[in-house]
Amino acid sequence: MENNIMICGESSELKLFLQTCIIQDRPLNCDWFQISEETDPMVASLVNSANFADNFNLEMTLHPRWEQLELLVVGTPPRSFIETEGKEAKRKWVQLVINQAMANGFKGKVCFVADNDHLWVYSALRFSGLPASNIFGLGTMPLSETVARLLGTGLAIGSDPIYANVIGTRDDSFIAWSRAQIAGNSLLSVVTQDNSLFDQSKLDQITATYLDEAKLSHDIVTVLCLQRICRAIFFNHPILVPLTHEIEFAKQKIAISEPVVLSKQGVAVMTKLNLSEEETEQFVAVKQRVLAQIDELRNK
């Protein structure tokens, strides 16, 4: 078994991800990246607990086997790192992880699980030398999963037959209702039927509440998304989901979250994203704001 993954960061959702991997005995070899001899007590407990799993291996390491790793999951920097680096902690954390990885033969994929992942995807691509297909962020995937579950609850059918996209960034997003489907049928066509049990007012309610709902279940939904990402990369189950990845806008490279196919080969960009006229205008506005943020990052 290979399936080599390393967790870089102390986010609560990453620790919960490890807990579920132990309980479900996922066939993964997982390292936890340490930057000092100081040990996180909860991670130490998880390492001990992983000894009871048959297929899931977990170790803490100061000296990762970078060349063997297939996936880096980069989250919020350790508390001690934040205390030392202050406001620049997140940027320097990304640089530390990526620089060490590239200096030691890393050729795998990088998934960012953190706020402003569009900035970190952009930054990592600039100084890593990895192909764009290898670097992505969780982006609006958790928001999309939340919207699908809200729709499933409203329709009393569960979320499995529902396809819904939230696009943009984690902090600047909108629901692309024109692309939403139920069992392959357009959601908007279902809403407009005279006998529909799900009308426009319910869509408006979801639009107004999905961000708050996502915050309430943030850690759990993030874990579910990471599980799907691992299945796509390690177990040949490609998925079509919105992830933060590199695109071109106004003749410049930026990163934004929109639907892509994720597989063992990494991120594959879809053909033109068909949106309604209003959604297209919203998306352009989001891209303009992202470009402004990236310009500010470049000037630091």
Q: Strand locations in the chain, DSSP E?
A: 4-8, 29-33, 57-61, 71-74, 109-112, 135-137, 162-163, 166-169, 172-175, 181-182, 185-186, 239-249, 252-263, 266-269
Q: Are residues 97 and 244 in the same domain?
A: no
Q: Out of 20-29, 156-165, 257-266, which region has the weakest mean confidence (pLDDT)?
A: 156-165
Sheet strand arrangement including 162-163: 162-163, 181-182, 185-186
Q: Are residues 151 and 261 in the same domain?
A: yes
Q: Are residues 197 and 255 in the same domain?
A: yes
What's the pLDDT at 18? Answer: 97
Distance (Å, whole) CA 196 – CA 33: 51
Whether 122 maps to a domain, the answer reads no
Per-residue pLDDT, averaged over 11-38, amounts to 94
What's the pLDDT at 37? Answer: 81
Q: Are residues 294 and 185 in the same domain?
A: yes
Q: Are residues 14 and 162 in the same domain?
A: no
Whether 121 maps to a domain, the answer reads no
Q: Give the end of a domain, one of 91, 107, 123.
A: 107
- Residue written as token pair 């706020």: 115
Q: Give the end of a domain, one of 88, 107, 126.
A: 107
Report the mean per-residue pLDDT for the chain. 92
Whether 17 maps to a domain, the answer reads yes
Per-residue pLDDT, averaged over 170-183, amounts to 93
CATH of the domain at 197: 3.90.110.10
Whether 232 maps to a domain, the answer reads yes
Q: Give the end of a domain, one of 60, 88, 107.
A: 107
The confidence band for 106, taking pLDDT boundaries of 50, 70 and 90, is very high
What's the pLDDT at 159? Answer: 77
Whether 83 maps to a domain, the answer reads yes
Whether 179 maps to a domain, the answer reads yes
pLDDT > 70? residue 99: yes
Q: Are residues 187 and 64 in the same domain?
A: no
Q: Are residues 294 and 181 in the same domain?
A: yes
Whether 73 maps to a domain, the answer reads yes
What's the pLDDT at 140? Answer: 98
pLDDT > 90? residue 65: yes
Per-residue pLDDT, averaged over 225-234, amounts to 97
% of the chain residues with pLDDT over 90: 76
What range defines the domain where residue 201 resides?
141-298
Q: Quote the Cα angle for 31-264-142, to 5°.
A: 75
Q: Are residues 74 and 158 in the same domain?
A: no
pLDDT tens for each residue of 25-37: 999 999 999 988 8
Task: Give the residue from 24, 26, 40 showing the smallest Cα distance to 79.
Answer: 40
What's the pLDDT at 196? Answer: 62
Per-residue pLDDT, averaged over 199-219, amounts to 92
What's the pLDDT at 194? Answer: 56
Per-residue pLDDT, averaged over 140-151, amounts to 96
Q: Are residues 103 and 169 in the same domain?
A: no
- Residue written as token pair 């329709």: 155
The confidence band for 287, taking pLDDT boundaries of 50, 70 and 90, is very high
pLDDT > 70? residue 195: no
Q: Are residues 241 and 161 in the same domain?
A: yes
pLDDT > 90? residue 184: no
pLDDT > 70? residue 197: no
CATH of the domain at 72: 3.40.50
What's the total number of domains in the chain? 2
Greater confidence (300 vs 283) lies with 283
pLDDT > 80? residue 59: yes
pLDDT > 60? residue 5: yes
Q: Are residues 201 and 271 in the same domain?
A: yes
| 58 exposure class (CB count in 10 Å sphere: 0-12, 13-18, 19+) | buried
Q: What is the DSSP string of 88-104?
A: GHHHHHHHHHHHHHHHT
Give the pair of three-digit tokens for residue 206: 């979801």
Q: Are residues 146 and 98 in the same domain?
A: no
% of the chain residues with pLDDT over 70: 97
Whether 130 maps to a domain, the answer reads no
Length of the chain measured in residues: 300
pLDDT > 80? residue 158: no
What CA–CA distances, in Å, run from 37 to 28, 61, 80, 111, 232?
Answer: 25, 9, 12, 25, 34
